[in-house]
Amino acid sequence: MVETYKSTSNPMMNRPVVKAELVEWMRSSQTQVTGELAEVLNFAKENNIPVIPHETVLYFQMLLSLLKPKRILEIGTAIGFSALVMAQEVPEAEIVTIDRNPEMIELAKKNLTKYDHRNQIQLKEGDAADVLQELKGPFDLVFMDSAKSKYVEFLPKSLELLSENGLILMDDVFQAGEILLPIMEVKRNQRALERGLRKLFDEVFDNPKYMTSVLPLGDGLLMIKKHKNC
Ligand SMILES: C[S@@+](CC[C@H](N)C(=O)[O-])C[C@H]1O[C@@H](n2cnc3c(N)ncnc32)[C@H](O)[C@@H]1O
């Protein structure tokens, strides 16, 4: 068992925003994850490691099969599950993924050695705030699934690294609906996270520079695209 990883950042796990029966239906009635990906997923479940939920896996598979990105940047590797999902869907893509947690990095390395058969995935160790500065674009897709308070801080560099028609995806932006609460009603230890998310929404929503779409998948997936000429 993984001892030190604390799953505090995903309130959706216990409090789905979409009706629980519908979430269950989406997860049980569609194609299941099988084979090697299922091994990684089962380990995540057994050890309470948050990874993208089933409906998001299927959405990623659909989206990637249409977009066929050549280079993908992921912020938040954990044990490498979402990176492996993406690698499997786009066998010709190069994926750079960042994590700062030593325990997750060790597990991710083991999984990548075992399951990244085409050596598509490059794991960068360190805080994304630092690693992002060293990266060279362009990336056709940036997937943020790390500390939610930092999404807004990672946005400018991610936009800089993004290809002209590139897409940014950010996971868990609903925070189980807490984004709707007045900030003083949010638990004190969650306020920095909530303030970061609200700053992000203020920056990207209703801004002529960006096209956005929020999807009620998992705990909310935000999609951001640059408008042409911006
Ligand atoms: C929800 S998990 C990622 C799950 C993974 N994307 C998946 O679906 O398989 C979040 C990960 O982000 C990492 N993380 C959080 N903040 C980070 C930061 N500032 N820089 C790098 N990694 C970060 C954590 O260590 C954790 O492993």
With bands split at pLDDT 50, 70 and 90, how would you rate the model's confidence at 228?
Answer: confident
Question: Hey, how many other C-beta atoms are within 10 angstroms of the C-beta on 203?
Answer: 15
Say if 177 falls within a structural domain.
Answer: yes
| Within a domain: 70 | yes
**Minimal-distance CA residue to ligand 1 atom 11:** 76
What are the φ and ψ backbone dihedral angles of 215, each rounded to 5 degrees? -110, 135
Q: Model confidence at 17, in pLDDT bands (50, 70, 90)?
A: confident
C-alpha distances (whole Å) from 200 to each of 59, 148, 194, 218 are 23, 10, 10, 19
CA–CA gap between residue 88 and residue 190 (Å, rounded): 35
Q: How far apart are CA 97 and CA 115, in angstroms?
A: 15
Share of the chain above pLDDT 90, in %: 89
Alpha carbon distance 12, 17 (integer Å)? 7
Q: Tell how far the Cα of 101 is from the centroid of ligand 1, in angstroms.
A: 8
Domain assignment present for 118: yes
Binning pLDDT at 50, 70 and 90, where does residue 230 land? low
Mean pLDDT of the region 198-227: 96
More confident residue, 12 or 178: 178
| Cα Rg, the chain, nearest whole Å | 17
Give a yes or no: residue 121 inside a domain: yes
pLDDT at position 51 over 60: yes
Q: Does the beta carbon of 124 lie inside 6 Å of ligand 1?
A: no
When pLDDT is averaged across residues 134-153 and rounded to a whole number, the result is 97
Query: Does the pLDDT at position 7 exceed 80?
Result: no
Domain range for 44 = 16-226
Report CA(226)–ligand 1 centroid distance (Å): 24
Instruction: Report if residue 205 sits inside a domain.
Output: yes
pLDDT average, residue stretch 35-43: 98
Residue type, 109: K
pLDDT for 99-140, tens place per residue? Answer: 999 999 999 999 999 999 999 999 999 999 999 999 999 999
Contacts of 137 (CB under 8 A, 6+ apart): 71, 160, 161, 162, 163
Residue 224: pLDDT above 50?
Answer: yes
Annotated binding site: 52, 82, 99, 127-128, 145
Measured from the CA of 81, which atom of ligand 1 is nearest? 9
Averaged pLDDT, 73-81: 98
**Are β-strands 162-171 and 121-125 bridged in parallel, bridged antiparallel, or unpaired?**
unpaired
Nearest to 58 by CA among 36, 22, 96, 29: 29
pLDDT score recorded for residue 9:
44
97 within domain boundaries: yes
**What are the tokens at 135?**
């990266």
For residue 67, what is the domain's CATH number? 3.40.50.150
- For residue 5, pLDDT over 50 is answered with no
Going by their DSSP bridges, the two strands 162-171 and 139-144 should be labelled as parallel
Indicate whether 157 belongs to any domain: yes
Indicate the number of domains in the chain. 1
Instruction: Give the mean pLDDT of the chain.
Output: 93
